[in-house]
Chain A
Amino acid sequence: GENVEQHPSTLSVQEGDSAVIKCTYSDSASNYFPWYKQELGKRPQLIIDIRSNVGEKKDQRIAVTLNKTAKHFSLHITETQPEDSAVYFCAARDNQGGKLIFGQGTELSVKP
Chain B
Amino acid sequence: DSGVTQTPKHLITATGQRVTLRCSPRSGDLSVYWYQQSLDQGLQFLIQYYNGEERAKGNILERFSAQQFPDLHSELNLSSLELGDSALYFCASSVFDGGGPGDTQYFGPGTRLTVL
Q: Which residues of A contact B (CB under 8 A)?
A: 32, 34, 36, 42-46, 49, 51, 89, 91, 93-105
- Distance (whole angstroms) from the CB of B60 to the closest CB of chain A: 11
Which B residues are closer than 8 A to A by beta carbons?
A: 2, 31, 33, 35, 42-45, 48, 50, 55-56, 58, 90, 94, 97-101, 103-110
A-B contact pairs, 20 of them (CB 8 A): A32-B101, A34-B105, A42-B109, A43-B90, A43-B108, A43-B110, A44-B90, A95-B100, A96-B56, A97-B99, A98-B55, A98-B99, A98-B105, A99-B56, A100-B33, A100-B35, A100-B43, A100-B45, A103-B42, A105-B42
Q: Please determine whether B104 and A102 come into contact, CB atoms closer than 8 angstroms.
A: no
A-B interface, 4 closest residue pairs, ranked by CB to CB distance from nearest: A98-B98, A97-B56, A102-B43, A43-B107
Known: A49-B104, A51-B101. A98 touches B58 (CB 8 A): no
> Smallest CB-CB separation from B99: which chain A residue?
A95
Q: How far is the CA of A95 from the CA of B103 in the complex (A)?
A: 11
The distance from the CB of A53 to the nearest CB of chain B, in whole angstroms, is: 9
